[in-house]
């Protein structure tokens, strides 16, 4: 196994190049903070990645047990304040910017995606409470989340309601001043674990009639414990998965579980989107992390592996062969371009003055970056050959762990439809103009890209006027990603 090394310099070169001017962001301080986390990731988190994958999680007497070493690693993570990195100081957090958090998240995912999955829904939960929670809810839960005493989950999916949330049947009924939740949720990451004292489940449940669709859904805060008493929540199974073996994916029964409404009744999906949009950018960074890690392993292996002969008859290293060089170059490009896309979106998110562009870039990042991670992992297996197909070098685990990223937090095909429909129509087409302006900023003197951008704008406006774009959505998303990727490459070439 080639040891994990955080790509700190690559991350901050990208942030400085693509995030743009962000008020209050100190790149030097940010890199120093991320450097401390990188040392923790390399020394503590990464060494648990392979063993955790092999051991997996287990369900004992209705409670989930994490792999050996994960509890101590989480305790150190929480004690060092990483769980409250972006939470407000008033609630015990460090109130750092989301660019620093993005650097930490990428490093975390590259070192140990499974543990990152269990811990990294906390920032989204905090954001949801800040936007939609009452002062009392904020005071009750944010300090617990920021300190690491509690973790959080996002409970949406049901057996009959995956991508189509209008089919949710899990119900919430009033019980005096509070609510009771009845029903089943599946595919819940970190639905239970033995790392934190408690878990705050954010549950999307039906308060209206089934025929109301998504308008009958509300969002609830459902704590695992209250005053030392377990809530009426049971984990009935943990799934046997292709990858992410050290991240418990739970099937959960809510049997009259006590909960409280967050946000307005019937506006649950809108409230949940605060958490989901954070999660989608985080999944995009997971794709970047997988691409970077797969490239690092493949490049190190190819540089050391003797294979074949040079034209002059001398011994050749694997990296000397043109086809291997091609694959390594594709891996490296995948990581660089995907990382730049995320950093562009995060820079815009931090500035807050281009909401239409952020709305457009979020699904685009989810599509492009997760596909990049999967492609780079696949190339890594190919470069290592038979050894890549074994578990010994870690590339097979990267592929297995990365495979879910194109599926969860919205399947990529659905995000393609989002781009080609709501994306181009949002704010009367404001995203079209903003995206075209972004291409021009990245590649101001490239005539060929300007011509492609003009054609893209015409196509986007055409789609904005169509009632049904499903057949056209995939090709439009591919063309949109390719246009931005090429503009990024032009910017990278300028140094």
Catalogue the active-site residues: 409
Q: Which residues pair with 251 in a beta bridge?
A: 237
Integer angstrom CA distances of residue 338 from 5, 281, 331, 357, 373: 19, 11, 11, 17, 9
Q: How far apart are CA 175 and CA 192, in angstroms?
A: 25
Q: How far apart are CA 258 and CA 203, in angstroms?
A: 11
Tell me the Ramachandran region of residue 216: left when phi exceeds 0, alpha when psi lies from -120 to 50, beta otherwise: alpha
């Amino acid at each position: 196994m080639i040891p994990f090394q955080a790509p700190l310099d690559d991350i901050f070169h990208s942030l400085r190049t693509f995030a743009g001017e962000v008020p209050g962001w100190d790149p030097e301080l940010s890199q120093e903070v991320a450097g401390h986390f990188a040392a923790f990731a390399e020394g503590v988190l990464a060494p648990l990645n392979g063993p955790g994958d092999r051991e997996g999680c287990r369900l004992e007497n209705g409670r989930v047990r994490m792999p050996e070493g994960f509890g101590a690693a989480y305790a150190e993570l929480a004690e060092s304040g990483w769980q409250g990195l972006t939470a407000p100081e008033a609630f015990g957090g460090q109130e750092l910017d989301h660019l620093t958090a993005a650097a930490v998240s990428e490093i975390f995912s590259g070192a140990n995606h499974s543990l990152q999955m269990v811990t990294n829904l906390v920032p989204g939960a905090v954001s949801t409470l800040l936007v939609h929670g009452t002062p009392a809810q904020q005071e009750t839960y944010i300090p617990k989340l920021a300190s690491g005493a509690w973790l959080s989950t996002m409970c949406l999916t049901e057996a009959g309601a995956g991508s189509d949330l209008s089919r949710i049947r899990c119900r919430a009924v009033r019980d005096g001043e509070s609510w009771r939740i009845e029903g089943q949720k599946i595919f819940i990451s970190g639905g239970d674990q033995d790392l934190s004292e408690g878990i705050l489940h954010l549950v999307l449940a039906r308060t209206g009639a089934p025929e109301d669709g998504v308008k009958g859904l509300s969002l609830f805060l459902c704590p695992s414990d209250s005053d030392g008493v377990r809530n009426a929540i049971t984990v009935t199974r943990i799934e046997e998965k292709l990858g992410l073996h050290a991240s418990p994916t739970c099937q959960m029964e809510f049997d009259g579980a006590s909960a409280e409404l967050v946000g307005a009744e019937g506006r649950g999906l809108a409230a949940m989107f605060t958490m989901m949009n954070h999660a989608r950018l985080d999944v995009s960074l997971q794709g970047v992390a997988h691409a970077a890690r797969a490239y690092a392993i493949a490049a190190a292996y190819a540089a050391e592996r003797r294979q074949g002969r040079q034209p002059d008859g001398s011994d050749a290293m694997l990296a000397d062969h043109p086809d291997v060089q091609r694959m390594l170059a594709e891996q490296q490009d995948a990581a660089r371009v995907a990382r730049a896309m995320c950093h562009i979106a995060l820079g815009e998110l931090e500035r807050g003055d281009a909401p239409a562009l952020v709305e457009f870039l979020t699904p685009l990042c989810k599509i492009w970056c997760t596909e990049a991670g999967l492609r780079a992992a696949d190339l890594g297996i190919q470069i290592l050959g038979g050894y890549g197909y074994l578990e010994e070098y870690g590339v097979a685990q990267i592929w297995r762990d990365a495979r879910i990223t194109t599926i969860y937090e919205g399947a990529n095909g659905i995000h393609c439809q989002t781009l080609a429909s709501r994306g181009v129509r949002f704010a009367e087409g404001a995203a079209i103009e903003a995206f075209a302006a972004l291409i021009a900023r990245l590649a101001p003197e490239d005539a060929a890209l300007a011509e492609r951008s003009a054609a893209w704008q015409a196509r986007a406006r055409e789609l904005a006027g169509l009632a049904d774009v499903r057949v056209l959505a995939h090709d439009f998303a591919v063309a949109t990603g390719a246009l931005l990727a090429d503009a990024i490459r032009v910017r990278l070439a300028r140094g």
